[in-house]
Structure 1
Amino acid sequence: MSGVVSVGFRGGALDIRDLTVGYGGEPVLHSVSFDLRPGEIVALLGANGAGKTTLLRAVARLVRVASGTIALDGADLGQVRTEDLARRGVALVPDGRSVVGELTVDENLRLAALWRHRGAARERAVNGIYEIFGSLARRRSSAGHQLSGGERQMLALGRALITEPTVLALDEPSLGLAPLIVAQVMGTLRETAASRGLTVLLAEQNVTSALSIADRGVVLNLGRVVADASAATLANDTHLRHAYLGF
């Protein structure tokens, strides 16, 4: 990974209010409320089953919201179709590093850029991703299934960033990666978010890594918010860490 390209993006403000979401009538999230200010990285923390993935899926309109609202820059996303969210500025990188294994790195990026960029603008956008992720530039002709776990995560991030989101939601981007690769991915995420003014909602079980790049943390336990504080405050709260974060 190399230098970060500043393109003057502006992060979106995401406001989550009294959100209740469940499956088969059983709530997983219970009246969850918090917000993300423009350009802020918020770490969404908690143990397995806390509701982190469900919340991200609700933001991406992949699960039905029982009650409550999710608003982007004051506009309710409740009636926005999932396929239209990217045009509103919301991008999700789900757990599993969503890349097309049969396509090359370059084809993956160009496919993701299709609706946003045309002609020379698409070429500039693809090259911009290669400037952020230098290892992808070296593997541009490799198929997705030939990449390492870290490279696949970088490609998944690149596919999201090329759509020029204002809000980026990521589900467990460190899962299964070696510590050195985790540090590289997190560092690049922090630098890229800063250079683009990008708002980031980062769901992670790797609490230390998440708090190292986050401005703020929101802790979920059994689908409820139990803490919402600065990253430094959460990292130094021994009781909270032992009770809810496992370290």
Structure 2
Amino acid sequence: MSGALAFSALTVGYGGEPVLHEVAFALAPGEVVALLGANGAGKTTLLRALAGFVPVRERMITLDGRDLMRLRPEDRARLGIGQVPEGRSVVAELTVDENLRLGTLWRHRGRERERAVAEVYDLFEPLARRRTSDGHQLSGGERQMLALGRALVSRPRVLTLDEPSLGLAPLVVAQLMATVRDTAARDGMTVLLAEQNVTSALSIADRGVVLNLGRVVADAPAADLSADTALRHAYLGF
């Protein structure tokens, strides 16, 4: 499963001054890249631009060499771009099992759908125990597991996650991060992880890309970013 993703001199804005300025970096198939930076750095805007939800002013985003710029959000999803937005978005009125099956509607049929759902239950035992519970009955950690599971059942080529650790207990965060890392390694899934929990993100990432005021100020192996004291203090807050 290929998932080479590239941003080429990307400039994005909602009107007035751009939020992102000529952002350029690439992700290889199976690579986990942590997208880092303070609030307002442009992390969420970049993920929304990839999904097709905000206007791009200049240049392009490509997946395996294919220009995505003229594609609607639903067409990008069909190409294999999955997302876990901030806020643990699940359908509160549907059960765990129904939420998961939503993620399989256009990607799987029959036995393949059942296999994909079963794999998520194997990954997240709490969801297996609560498969008939409605979304509003879940804890914060269970809702985040469900949001991630619903993205994974579609078997995305590229997965984006926006602040998945926000408000969660450290043990839950560790489980979620390990699942992301293991799935990327197993399936060759490319991952772009926007996260303010820098230590947690860099612990599973191959590389880190640091944004500041909408510009890339660093792009380096995760270990190098962790060891760069000056950069950490200047842009990452630790």
Structure 1 alignment gaps of length 5 or more: 1-9
The letter of the residue matching 1:97 is: R
Deviates more, 1:121-130 or 1:41-50: 121-130
Q: CA contact under 8 A between 2:12 and 2:49: conserved in structure 1? A: yes
Matched, 1:83 2:74: yes
Q: CA contact under 8 A between 1:42 and 1:217: conserved in structure 2? A: yes
Matched residue SS, 2:21: strand
Q: CA contact under 8 A between 1:86 and 1:163: conserved in structure 2? A: no
Note the alpha carbon deviations across 1:158-189, whole angstroms, 9 max, x for none: 11111111000110000111112111111111
Distance 2:145 2:183 in 1: 12
Q: CA contact under 8 A between 1:102 and 1:145: conserved in structure 2? A: yes
User: 119, 126, 130: which is aligned to 2:117?
Assistant: 126
Q: CA contact under 8 A between 2:127 and 2:146: conserved in structure 1? A: yes
User: 37, 42, 48: which is aligned to 2:39?
Assistant: 48
Matches within 5 A, 1:20-99: 20-99=11-90
Matches within 5 A, 1:135-146: 135-146=126-137
Overall identity of the aligned pairs, in %: 74
Matched, 1:234 2:207: no
Cα deviation, residue 11, structure 1? 4.0
The letter of the residue matching 1:221 is: N
Deviates more, 1:28-37 or 1:115-124: 115-124
Aligned residues: 238
Q: Name segments (4+ residues, structure 1) moved above 2 Å.
A: none
- Equivalent in the alignment of 1:185: 176
Q: Alignment RMSD, CA only?
A: 0.8
The letter of the residue matching 1:30 is: H
Matched, 1:105 2:101: no
Cα deviation, residue 120, structure 1? 2.1
Matched, 1:16 2:4: no
User: 181, 188, 211: which is aligned to 1:220?
Assistant: 211
Cα deviation, residue 128, structure 1? 1.3
Matched residue SS, 1:194: helix
Q: CA contact under 8 A between 1:43 and 1:214: conserved in structure 2? A: yes
Distance 1:177 1:191 in 2: 20
Distance 1:212 1:11 in 2: 24
Distance 1:234 1:112 in 2: 35
Structure 2 alignment gaps of length 5 or more: none
Q: CA contact under 8 A between 1:18 and 1:30: conserved in structure 2? A: yes
Matches within 5 A, 1:167-206: 167-206=158-197
- Equivalent in the alignment of 1:3: none
